[in-house]
A and B are shown apart, each in its own frame.
Chain A
Amino acid sequence: MTGQALQAVIEVAGARVSFGAVKALDGVTLAIMPGECVGLVGHNGAGKSTIVGVINGGLTPHEGTVSGDGAVIARYGIIAARSRGVRCVFQELSLCPNLTVVENTRLMHRQLGGFGWRARARAIIGRSLDTVFPGHGIDCELSVGELSIAERQMVEIAMAFSDAGITPRLVILDEPTSSLDASLAEQMLAHVRRFVGAGGSVIFISHILGEILSTADRIVVMKDGRIVAERPAADFTEHSLVEAMGSVVKGEERRRAARDLANAPVVLEHAGRGLPFRARRGEIVGLAGLAGHGQTGMLMKLHAASSGDWLPRKDPAVTFVAGDRRLNGVFELWSILRNFSIASLGDLSRQGLVQADAEAERGADWRKRIEIRTRDMGNGILSLSGGNQQKVLFARALSTRAPVVLMDDPMRGVDVGTKQEVYDIVRQEAANGRTFVWYSTEMEEVCLCDRVYVFREGAIVAELAGEAVTEESILAASFEGTAA
């Protein structure tokens, strides 16, 4: 090693990461050189956040190596990454909302202690804010919770670029501009260029393709845990980027026969920002777009609008299938049977008393119908695999009398076989007149829908129906700056 050739700040070689059956990273090799900005794009589940996790030390790849400055690092973790100057701006808030900006700076930089740390911390974060966002007007003595969302994001970004002993060398920006307005975003992008010009490195993730094209030197396109394209930014156009993100080979779609539902009665309506939402009887309505752009919020609103908080409803109007099973799906202490029956107890009881026989009978019935793989419905719900737990949640929703089923990306991390079974059930039930509102991050599921609403930044920005529901048109609508 003579040091003549430029060495990568961080290089990931042949990284493989899998979560259960899902391969999140399937042999990815990525080197970040000093003085370059790498744009990272891809649709949901392409593996962007996984590779970011590997680079910032939060995730250890099951296979493959991480090396820095030419040498393989054996025990690479969060602390090792920080000491090499790797910083990350996360999408979620990573500051303490109850502390002031200055105090947060103190926490982020461990080596800042000692008498007079306040003045030092104020100088450091102040300098960084002034550099990245000149004229920002943020009072560093305010607590973070009092700042507007844009200001918080600015502080997070400035924090990542701030220098308190360890110089930042590689800054990962994951959707940094999502809550900044145009001029602030411009300032930030200008700083990224300056930082890169001075020899720093940046990994830049954004759903606004224009930003990526104008800021990045090199663009890496990911799909299904692999890098599918990697070229200098100048070789891409918005159109070719969208194309690269889509399927390389268009397989035969399992498209359902188009049904004429224009005359079916509307069962659900919601007016918010963007286009209005409407669902008809027997329809499968898809909610698409990048993850976290307001789809789950819409489902929650639809659910809250037609269920009671104080009195039980005689006839439930909607029912819900959770995607985040741990958060709002499974009751972990309970058996499979109880998890299944909780939403339809009204039908299984007399004078408030649950009829154990009726409950067991219906449980056995559904167990056969959707093949929950267990010997005994009395076993704990956590004894099931993730896919089978998900089936229980489906059974819970479908066994109610509710005419509308809301689905919050329920197929995340579920194996292919289970998926096919569930798709069939959904189609059958829709044919019988049930309405499905289906948020999905997976293209093949979205393509099963009769009609699709595409979300961007919390609002519906496009409505696609019938033949227009294609991967390309959904991608185009999800990524801003691309003419649909």
Chain B
Amino acid sequence: MKLRLSADAIRLLIPALSLTVLLAAVFWLQPRAMSYVGLNLLFNLAVPIALATIAQMLIMAVNDLDLSMGTFVSFVACVTATFLRDAPLLGVLILAGAILVYAGLGVVIHLRNLPSIVVTLGMSFVWAGLAVLMLPAPGGQAPDWVRTLMTAKPPFVPMAIVASVFIAVIAHFLVMRSSLGVLIRGVGGNQRSVERAGWSVVYARAMAYGLAGLFAVAAGIALVGLTTSADANIALRYTLLSIAGVILGGGEFIGGRVSPIGAVVGALTLTLAGSFLSFLRISPDWQIGAQGAILIVVLALRLLLNRIENREKGR
């Protein structure tokens, strides 16, 4: 019996490998990073990015794309730093409403057969506007419980790692193990056959968008917990970073092929890429460029692996 790696395992292999290589390189360059504090510093900002990446992944699982992720996370950050602190009940209501809006977007996009790129592009202006209304200038303050949660110091393993593992596990169960996750990915894989089996695709899309909203809200809260204050442009980079994280983690644009664990690993890799360069004493100017280069290398590797796999399958 020949050992056959499943496609999911192969999908995870490249991101895991790139993270390991990067981490090893960082440790080699800067052995002091191999400590509790060092690891926490390296991965601190990865938590909100990982959450946003999971959100983006849920939307990509139904063959859509969310261009409003960055502004939405910024919006949530502003709500967290203002309403959620000063009037917790109202803050919770606003965030719940935002999640409902996300689910509603899923419904509208499906029923009217609209391009998700354009709808979310429009929404990105709306979220940005709301954020500016709340916080015209940087300010606000993180609620204490959020601050406590994000700066907690669990024994042995730093919070950033614990949180990342926690996010990966939750998302894995939700997307890969539950019936709902199967339905959402099924819509991405072959919408017609899902319909033919008697499911409601509108429901699946609404759930995918709603869950994405939930994760994005978590991302915004986590971000404020780290930065203590918010501003309307705090997370604009997250739109592109979340897409890159999903792709890096083995997700694909269409076909419902996603991997939550991979997405978290992808987010960690992107975060680490920046630190790595600074340890190499290459100017931080190239930090974003390195993220782009890693993306390209990973995509090239994947193409190579796919080719080999196909050749084997062709027999």
Q: Compute how far the CA of A143 lies from the CA of B198 in the bound complex, rounded to whole angstroms.
A: 22
B313 CB, nearest partner CB in chain A, Å: 6
Is B30 on the interface with A (CB-CB < 8 A)? no
Is B6 on the interface with A (CB-CB < 8 A)? yes
Whether B7 lies near A145 (C-beta < 8 A) is: yes
Q: Mark A9-51, 1 if CB is under 8 A from B, else 0.
A: 0000000000000000000000000000000000000000000
Is B262 on the interface with A (CB-CB < 8 A)? no
Question: Which of B105-113, B177-185, B288-296 contacts the other chain?
Answer: B177-185
B113 CB, nearest partner CB in chain A, Å: 15
Is A94 on the interface with B (CB-CB < 8 A)? yes
Question: Which of B86-94, B188-196, B206-214 contacts the other chain?
Answer: B188-196
A121 CB, nearest partner CB in chain B, Å: 10
Q: Mark B48-75, 1 if CB is under 8 A from A, else 0.
A: 0000000000000000000000000000
Contact of A94 among B8, B183, B190 (CB under 8 A): B190
Within 158-211 of B, Cβ neighbours of A (below 8 Å) are at 177, 179, 182-183, 185-186, 188-190, 192-194, 196-199
Within 46-93 of A, Cβ neighbours of B (below 8 Å) are at 78-79, 82, 93
Whether B185 lies near A96 (C-beta < 8 A) is: yes
Name, among A82, A98, A104, A139, the residue most crowded by chain B CB atoms within 10 Å (CB to CB). Answer: A98
Is B281 on the interface with A (CB-CB < 8 A)? no
Is A95 on the interface with B (CB-CB < 8 A)? yes
A305 CB, nearest partner CB in chain B, Å: 21
Is A142 on the interface with B (CB-CB < 8 A)? yes
Question: Which of A105-113, A345-353, A426-434, A449-457 contacts the other chain?
Answer: A105-113
Is A292 on the interface with B (CB-CB < 8 A)? no
With CB as the reference atom, state the residue of chain B lying closest to A117. B179
Is A103 on the interface with B (CB-CB < 8 A)? yes
Contact of B4 among A94, A103, A139 (CB under 8 A): A139
Whether A79 lies near B182 (C-beta < 8 A) is: no
With CB as the reference atom, state the residue of chain B lying closest to A96. B189
Contact of B198 among A104, A110, A117, A146 (CB under 8 A): A110
Whether A107 lies near B194 (C-beta < 8 A) is: yes
Contacts of B7 in A (CB 8 A): 142-143, 145-146
Given known A-B contacts A107-B183, A108-B197, A110-B197, A95 and B6 have beta carbons under 8 A apart: no
Contacts of B189 in A (CB 8 A): 96-99
Whether A78 lies near B196 (C-beta < 8 A) is: yes
Name, among A107, A139, A142, A145, the residue most crowded by chain B CB atoms within 10 Å (CB to CB). Answer: A107
Is A332 on the interface with B (CB-CB < 8 A)? no
Whether A96 lies near B6 (C-beta < 8 A) is: no
Q: Compute how far the CA of A93 lies from the CA of B315 in the bound complex, rounded to whole angstroms.
A: 21
With CB as the reference atom, state the residue of chain A lying closest to B187. A96
Is A148 on the interface with B (CB-CB < 8 A)? yes
Contacts of B188 in A (CB 8 A): 98
Q: Compute how far the CA of A141 lies from the CA of B185 in the bound complex, rounded to whole angstroms.
A: 16
Within 248-276 of B, Cβ neighbours of A (below 8 Å) are at 255-257
Whether B179 lies near A113 (C-beta < 8 A) is: yes
Given known A-B contacts A143-B6, A145-B7, A96 and B190 have beta carbons under 8 A apart: yes
Given known A-B contacts A95-B190, A98-B255, A146 and B6 have beta carbons under 8 A apart: yes
A223 CB, nearest partner CB in chain B, Å: 29
A117 CB, nearest partner CB in chain B, Å: 6
Q: Compute how far the CA of A103 lies from the CA of B197 in the bound complex, rounded to whole angstroms.
A: 13
Whether A96 lies near B179 (C-beta < 8 A) is: no
B259 CB, nearest partner CB in chain A, Å: 11
B42 CB, nearest partner CB in chain A, Å: 33
Chain B: residues with Cβ within 8 Å of the partner, total of 25
Given known A-B contacts A99-B182, A117-B179, A143-B7, A79 and B198 have beta carbons under 8 A apart: yes
Name, among A103, A104, A109, A113, the residue most crowded by chain B CB atoms within 10 Å (CB to CB). Answer: A103
A83 CB, nearest partner CB in chain B, Å: 9
Contacts of A118 in B (CB 8 A): 177
B198 CB, nearest partner CB in chain A, Å: 5
Whether A106 lies near B179 (C-beta < 8 A) is: yes
Whether B179 lies near A99 (C-beta < 8 A) is: no
Contacts of B192 in A (CB 8 A): 94
Within 237-252 of B, Cβ neighbours of A (below 8 Å) are at none
Q: Compute how far the CA of A109 lies from the CA of B179 in the bound complex, rounded to whole angstroms.
A: 11
Whether B6 lies near A103 (C-beta < 8 A) is: no
Contacts of B182 in A (CB 8 A): 99, 103, 106-107
Given known A-B contacts A82-B198, A107-B199, A148-B313, A99 and B186 have beta carbons under 8 A apart: yes
Whether B196 lies near A94 (C-beta < 8 A) is: yes
Q: Compute how far the CA of A148 lies from the CA of B313 in the bound complex, rounded to whole angstroms.
A: 7
Contacts of A78 in B (CB 8 A): 196, 198
Contacts of A109 in B (CB 8 A): 197
With CB as the reference atom, state the residue of chain B lying closest to A143. B7
Contacts of A110 in B (CB 8 A): 197-199
Contacts of B185 in A (CB 8 A): 96, 98-99, 103
With CB as the reference atom, state the residue of chain B lying closest to A93. B190
Contacts of B183 in A (CB 8 A): 107
Contacts of B6 in A (CB 8 A): 141-143, 146
Q: Compute how far the CA of A148 lies from the CA of B314 in the bound complex, rounded to whole angstroms.
A: 8
Contact of A97 among B190, B198, B313 (CB under 8 A): B190
Q: Compute how far the CA of A109 lies from the CA of B193 in the bound complex, rounded to whole angstroms.
A: 12
Contacts of A98 in B (CB 8 A): 185, 188-189, 255-257
Q: Compute how far the CA of A104 lies from the CA of B183 in the bound complex, rounded to whole angstroms.
A: 9
Contacts of B255 in A (CB 8 A): 97-98
A108 CB, nearest partner CB in chain B, Å: 5
With CB as the reference atom, state the residue of chain A lying closest to B181. A103
Whether A96 lies near B8 (C-beta < 8 A) is: no
Name, among B6, B198, B257, the residue most crowded by chain A CB atoms within 10 Å (CB to CB). Answer: B198
Q: Compute how far the CA of A186 lies from the CA of B81 in the bound complex, rounded to whole angstroms.
A: 69
Q: Compute how far the CA of A384 lies from the CA of B200 in the bound complex, rounded to whole angstroms.
A: 35
B225 CB, nearest partner CB in chain A, Å: 34
B190 CB, nearest partner CB in chain A, Å: 4
Q: Mark B7-42, 1 if CB is under 8 A from A, else 0.
A: 110000000000000000000000000000000000
Residues of chain B having any CB pair with chain A under 8 Å: 4, 6-8, 177, 179, 182-183, 185-186, 188-190, 192-194, 196-199, 255-257, 313, 315
- Top 8 closest pairs, chain A to chain B, by CB: A96-B189, A98-B189, A96-B190, A98-B256, A94-B193, A103-B182, A98-B257, A96-B186
Given A94-B190, A96-B190, A96-B256, 5 further pairs, Cβ under 8 A: A94-B196, A95-B190, A99-B189, A107-B186, A109-B197
* Interface pairs (25), CB distance under 8 Å: A82-B198, A94-B192, A94-B196, A95-B193, A96-B186, A96-B256, A97-B189, A97-B190, A98-B185, A98-B257, A99-B256, A103-B182, A104-B186, A106-B179, A107-B199, A108-B197, A110-B197, A110-B199, A113-B179, A118-B177, A141-B6, A142-B6, A142-B7, A143-B6, A146-B313
